[in-house]
Structure 1
Amino acid sequence: MNIFNQTGQYFALLLKVFSKPERHSLYIRQTFNEIENLGIKSVGIVAVISIFMGGIMTLQVAYNMVNPLLPRTIIGLGNRDSLILEFSSTIMGLIMAGKIGSNITSEIGSMKVTEQIDSLEIMGVNSASYLILPKIIAVVLMFPLLYILSVFFGIIGGLIVGPAVGAVTITDYINGIQSSFNPYYVTFSLMKCLVFGFLISSISAFFGYTVEGGAFDVGTASTRAVVNTNIQILVWDLILTQLLL
């Protein structure tokens, strides 16, 4: 399948996904289920990764401050802005593409190869909309919330690790977090999260919905979905940064 045919199929699937639902109540219930499965169940891994990365970035900023004239508050400021601008949106998006994306692809792909999707179509159900739309809505809604949690836990990680190893005092770290804050950085990253959430859910669902073959092909489709999603996240990160910053 060449890139042009694949792109055409992707947009054709999106048109089918965003068609008018047959029963709104069924879609709403399914959306809440996806919010729990894809969003709430990802909070743990987001918290753990963010705490460690916040601690690591705090140490890296501290150990690279070779100029004694620079204030130690830069350590907290550097960790905060790194989390807000890039880690908690882009890097977490790449990580979530592996967790959430592979989950979506394998689930829909398994239904495709076992002919469950064909059964839905025979019953008159728009299978693309029923299976994919709730996932897109759930991920787009939850990803900004996961971003906020990631920033919070990343800052907490720096607050724990920095003073614990003597890299920075609690007072300097907190003063750094509070200094020179630009609210637009948060707005910018939340915009990126909405785009990344859509990319993760829609691309993963596309590879799952179009898979052919058996269980081995589902695994291959999951890998391809994660790789393509990561590439698109990086491309759109560059585009959005150029347009919005």
Structure 2
Amino acid sequence: MESKEKTPALIEEVKPPGRFAQVFLTLYDVYQFIALFFKEGFFPPYEFKELWRQCYDIGYRSALLISTTGFITGIVFTKQSRPSLAEFGATSWLPSLVGIALLRTLAPLLTGLIAAGKVGSSIGAELGSMRVTEQIDAMEVSATNPFKFLVTTRVLAATITIPILTFYTAMIGMLGALLNVAMFEDTSAKAFFQSSLESITFLDFTASTVKAILFGFTIGIVGCYKGYNSSKGTEGVGKAANAAVVTAMFLIFIEEVISVQFFSLFRS
């Protein structure tokens, strides 16, 4: 009888990482993605033309929706705040209340959430479709840096544009509040804006700017990360766009809570 030799298995089956380990692997990938952004973003060559195009594209995409939402928010917030102040005979404080609320919280948060839904999903879907159709691979073959051209410009554009849109939202919201006040009270536009701006401090402008920058960076980096690393064809493109919106909104709320606690230390 012929003896059959048993050869030992030289290659063991590698088990996939568990959910707990997968979380840390994802965090490490995100860390590498962000580190690569700072490396590519601050060293030449610079893509100024593409950066300008992305800034215009992000502002144009969000301008109409932000204008409508900001104007309605100013009207509704003023209308809802008037009865509470009237109970204490403090309706004269309404312009100050609206100005502080819009600049400190409502304008950055509204702009961030709208941009996360409008811009974040667009970035995720656009880069995701480029990934699954191998356009990004083609750019690498043609000696073009796809990360610098696609990711860096979009993240920088979102970081620059969102603060501008934030103050634009605050201005539109103040116009809506002025319209509501003018309908119910005998207050001129000059008196309204003078009263609302008197209570706003430099710290309020600083806090609003810092939050808007954080929100813009979060929207850009999340949308680019989800889209740049998407897979599974058209299904992956849809998942990348959806994940970009949900993740960006979740992180914006967390950043809002942390920033409020941080800047409240300087107000106490």
Q: Do they fold alike, i.e. is TM over 0.5?
A: yes
Paired residue type of 1:170: T
Aligned to 2:119: 100
Paired residue type of 1:136: V
Paired residue type of 2:217: F
How far did residue 175 of structure 1 move? 5.4
How far did residue 162 of structure 1 move? 2.9
Q: More relative contact order in 1 or in 2 (CA 8 Å, sep 6+)?
A: 1
Is the Cα contact below 8 Å between 1:75 and 1:173 reproduced in 2? no
Q: Which moved more, 1:193-202 or 1:42-51?
A: 42-51
Does residue 1:147 correspond to 2:166, yes or no? yes
Q: Which has the larger radius of gyration?
A: 2
**Helix, strand or coil at the partner of 2:85:** coil
How far did residue 52 of structure 1 move? 0.7
How far did residue 183 of structure 1 move? 2.4
Aligned to 1:55: 75
**Helix, strand or coil at the partner of 1:65:** helix
Aligned to 1:203: 222
Paired residue type of 2:219: I
How far did residue 23 of structure 1 move? 6.4
Aligned to 2:4: none
Is the Cα contact below 8 Å between 2:226 and 2:244 reproduced in 1? yes
Does residue 1:131 correspond to 2:150, yes or no? yes
Q: Which moved more, 1:58-67 or 1:98-107?
A: 58-67
Does residue 1:116 correspond to 2:122, yes or no? no
Aligned to 1:32: 52
Distance of 1:124 and 1:233 partners within structure 2? 36
Q: Which moved more, 1:117-126 or 1:184-193?
A: 117-126
Is the Cα contact below 8 Å between 1:72 and 1:173 reproduced in 2? no
1:69-80 correspondence runs (5 A): 69-80=88-99
How far did residue 74 of structure 1 move? 1.8
Q: Which runs of 5 or more residues in structure 2 are unaligned?
A: 1-18
Which of 218, 234, 238 does residue 215 from structure 1 map onto?
A: 234
Residues 221-240 of structure 1: CA distance to partner in whole angstroms, max 9, x if unpaired? 11111111111111111112
Q: Which runs of 5 or more residues in structure 1 are unaligned?
A: none
Is the Cα contact below 8 Å between 2:99 and 2:200 reproduced in 1? no
Paired residue type of 1:16: L
Does residue 1:160 correspond to 2:160, yes or no? no
Aligned to 1:41: 61
Is the Cα contact below 8 Å between 2:120 and 2:245 reproduced in 1? yes
Distance of 1:15 and 1:114 partners within structure 2? 26
Distance of 1:145 and 1:80 partners within structure 2? 17
Paired residue type of 1:156: L
Residues 107-163 of structure 1: CA distance to partner in whole angstroms, max 9, x if unpaired? 100100101011112223222222010111111111111011111100000111232
Identity of aligned residues (%): 23
Distance of 2:44 and 2:193 partners within structure 1? 51
Task: Give me the TM-score of the superposition, normalised by structure 1.
Answer: 0.91
Is the Cα contact below 8 Å between 1:13 and 1:128 reproduced in 2? no
Distance of 1:160 and 1:43 partners within structure 2? 20
Distance of 2:45 and 2:180 partners within structure 1? 48
Paired residue type of 2:110: I
Aligned to 1:88: 107
Is the Cα contact below 8 Å between 1:88 and 1:150 reproduced in 2? yes
Aligned alpha-carbon RMSD (Å) = 1.9
Aligned to 2:27: 7
Is the Cα contact below 8 Å between 1:19 and 1:129 reproduced in 2? no
**What is the count of residue pairs matched by the alignment?**
241
